């Protein structure tokens, strides 16, 4: 049987600790075990309704250690008229239609169809957590957080699991949002989270600076001045440009001041046209010999190593299919053990070739 797993099912069986394990395995495989990752594909297409376009987000990848492959397919209808924030957001219904197809590479059979909204957030946070485990100061207890939404929550949850974080300062442009975030996360994580009124205050005296905002979508402008960075800080950002949007949470000064930069995948930088990194490289502010991938860090194959006073920047630069394949494998195993999800016949998804094989023909798909 093949499982259908909802966001609620995933939340039940896939805690952050499991997702951290999955991401670490995924990136180690990416560096060492021949994991396949097709750079993220995003496109926007016109429809027969001039007031709507269709946008899609696709990831494809494998995690050989788990014998799983995954295809993430996300999509939504969007208005052709930007809202007050300049966004072309899906406003036509309150539902996310994205899902992940998890495939058993030993047999080619679909193991599960998994809602992707909850998993999408937790795997971003877990990926930041893996980077912090290897690159942040070992005793880091303080975090400056930019953002107060879904990804700020999952990033902070992951950081608390990999470093002895005790206090957090959070800045978000909307006062109510940062106060709500501080109250909720203080209680959930049992640490001190304090809302602050300006961005510079958020990062002063902290060891980890984490940017998990919508700023890139709204304005395309960085959320802090790179001159504010202090020696020894570890910086994380999530926003990156692609063929449809130019966005970045950090400025050229941050790139220039970083002793080295860690990214998720070199191919995706070019495929997704991540100009916030490509432009500083073209300008000579950054060179590729100062850039490594997260897989190389996890596998220990990079020669780049931070000194205590170095600023290190992790550009959580793109979603990857390997993340879905790895997390999906652990989710599927736990779901089977717990009896979670709806079962549907696996045979529904495979063509019966008995007629052709009996005649000695082996037709291709």
Residue 339, domain CATH: 3.30.1780.10
Say if CB 61 and CB 328 are below 8 A apart: no
For position 220, what pLDDT does the model report?
64
CA distances to 13, 158, 202, 249, 283 from 330, rounded to whole Å, are 9, 17, 36, 32, 43
Provide, rounded to the nearest whole percent, the portion of the chain with pLDDT above 70: 94
- Tens digit of each residue's pLDDT (9 = 90 or more) over 111-169: 999 999 999 999 999 999 999 999 999 999 999 999 999 999 999 999 999 999 999 99
Largest CA distance in the chain: 75
For position 121, what pLDDT does the model report?
93
Please check whether residue 359 lies inside any domain of the structure. Answer: no
Please check whether residue 182 lies inside any domain of the structure. Answer: yes
Domain with 259, as residue range(s), is 121-315
pLDDT, mean of residues 320-349? 97
Beta strands 68-79 and 52-63 are antiparallel
Confidence of residue 217 (pLDDT cuts 50, 70, 90): very low
User: Structurally, how many domains does the chain consist of?
Assistant: 2
- Tens digit of each residue's pLDDT (9 = 90 or more) over 268-315: 999 989 999 999 999 999 999 999 999 999 999 999 988 999 999 999
What the block records as the tokens of 148 is 């107060």
Residue 178 CA neighbour count, 13 Å, CB half: 21
pLDDT, mean of residues 37-46? 92
Please check whether residue 288 lies inside any domain of the structure. Answer: yes
Among the listed ranges 21-30, 210-219, 292-301, which one has the minimum average pLDDT value?
A: 210-219
- Of the candidates 206, 198, 245, 246, the one whose C-alpha atom is nearest the C-alpha of residue 224 is 198
Same domain, 105 and 134: no
Please check whether residue 7 lies inside any domain of the structure. Answer: yes
Confidence of residue 215 (pLDDT cuts 50, 70, 90): low
Please check whether residue 335 lies inside any domain of the structure. Answer: yes
For position 289, what pLDDT does the model report?
96
Same domain, 219 and 296: yes
Same domain, 249 and 167: yes
Measured distance CA(156)–CA(145) in Å, rounded: 8
pLDDT, mean of residues 12-41? 97
CA distances to 147, 149, 176, 222, 305 from 172, rounded to whole Å, are 5, 9, 9, 13, 32
pLDDT, mean of residues 80-107? 77
Mean pLDDT for all residues in the chain: 93
Query: Given a cut of 80, is residue 326 above it in pLDDT?
Result: yes
Please check whether residue 263 lies inside any domain of the structure. Answer: yes
Residue 344 CA neighbour count, 13 Å, CB half: 12
Same domain, 71 and 198: no
Same domain, 235 and 149: yes
Query: Given a cut of 60, is residue 35 above it in pLDDT?
Result: yes
Same domain, 207 and 336: no
Among the listed ranges 48-52, 91-95, 257-261, 358-362, which one has the minimum average pLDDT value?
A: 91-95
What the block records as the tokens of 236 is 């994380």
Query: Given a cut of 80, is residue 236 above it in pLDDT?
Result: yes
Same domain, 175 and 226: yes
Same domain, 138 and 233: yes
Same domain, 258 and 276: yes
For position 114, what pLDDT does the model report?
98
- Of the candidates 154, 161, 188, the one whose C-alpha atom is nearest the C-alpha of residue 145 is 154
For position 91, what pLDDT does the model report?
58
Torsion of CA 60, 62, 68, 71, to 10 degrees: 0
Please check whether residue 364 lies inside any domain of the structure. Answer: no
Please check whether residue 267 lies inside any domain of the structure. Answer: yes
Same domain, 141 and 277: yes
Residue 263, domain CATH: 3.40.50.720
Same domain, 106 and 218: no
E-state strands within the chain? 2-5, 37-46, 52-63, 68-79, 99-104, 110-115, 142-146, 167-171, 192-195, 208-211, 234-237, 260-263, 291-293, 312-315, 342-344
Q: What is the pTM of this model?
A: 0.93
Same domain, 102 and 144: no
- Spatial neighbors of 352 by CB under 8 A, at least 6 apart, are none
pLDDT, mean of residues 29-36? 95
Query: Given a cut of 70, is residue 88 above it in pLDDT?
Result: no
**Distance separating the N- and C-terminal Cα atoms of the chain:** 22
Angle at alpha carbon of residue 319, lines to 321 and 146, rounded to 5°: 155
What the block records as the tokens of 205 is 């005296």
For position 83, what pLDDT does the model report?
62
Q: Under the phi-then-psi rule, with left for phi > 0, alpha for psi from -120 to 50, and beta for the rest, what region is 9?
A: alpha
Measured distance CA(126)–CA(320) in Å, rounded: 13
């Amino acid at each position: 049987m093949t499982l259908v797993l909802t966001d609620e099912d995933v939340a039940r069986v896939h805690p952050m600790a499991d997702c951290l394990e999955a991401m670490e395995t995924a990136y180690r495989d990416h560096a060492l075990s021949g994991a396949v990752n097709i750079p993220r594909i995003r496109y926007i297409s016109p429809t027969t309704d001039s007031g709507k376009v269709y946008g899609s987000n696709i990831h494809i990848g494998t995690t050989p250690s788990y014998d799983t492959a995954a295809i993430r397919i996300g999509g939504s209808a969007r208005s052709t008229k930007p809202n007050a924030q300049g966004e072309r957001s899906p406003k036509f219904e309150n539902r996310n239609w994205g899902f992940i197809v998890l495939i058993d590479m030993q047999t080619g059979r679909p193991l599960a169809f998994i809602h992707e909204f909850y998993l999408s957030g937790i795997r971003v946070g877990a990926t930041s957590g893996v980077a912090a485990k290897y690159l942040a100061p070992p005793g880091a207890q303080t975090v400056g957080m930019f953002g107060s939404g879904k990804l700020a929550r999952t990033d902070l949850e992951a950081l608390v699991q990999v470093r002895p974080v005790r206090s957090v300062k959070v800045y978000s442009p909307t006062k109510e949002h940062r106060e709500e975030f501080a109250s909720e996360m203080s209680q959930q994580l049992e640490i001190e989270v304090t809302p602050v009124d300006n961005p510079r205050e958020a990062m002063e005296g902290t060891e980890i600076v984490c940017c998990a905002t919508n700023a890139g979508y709204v304005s395309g402008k960085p959320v802090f001045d790179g001159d504010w960075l202090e020696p020894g800080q570890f910086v994380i950002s999530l926003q990156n440009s692609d063929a449809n949007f130019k966005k970045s949470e950090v400025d050229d000064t941050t790139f220039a001041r970083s002793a080295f930069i860690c990214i998720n995948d070199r191919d995706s930088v070019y495929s997704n046209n991540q100009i916030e990194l490509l432009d500083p490289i073209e300008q000579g502010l950054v060179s590729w010999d100062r850039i490594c991938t997260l897989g190389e860090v996890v596998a220990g194959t990079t020669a780049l190593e931070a000194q205590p006073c170095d600023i290190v920047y992790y550009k959580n630069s793109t979603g990857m299919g390997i993340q879905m394949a790895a997390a999906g494998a652990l989710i599927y195993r736990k779901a089977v053990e717990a009896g979670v999800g709806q079962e549907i016949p696996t045979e529904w998804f495979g063509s019966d070739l008995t007629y052709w094989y009996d005649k000695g023909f082996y037709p291709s798909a």
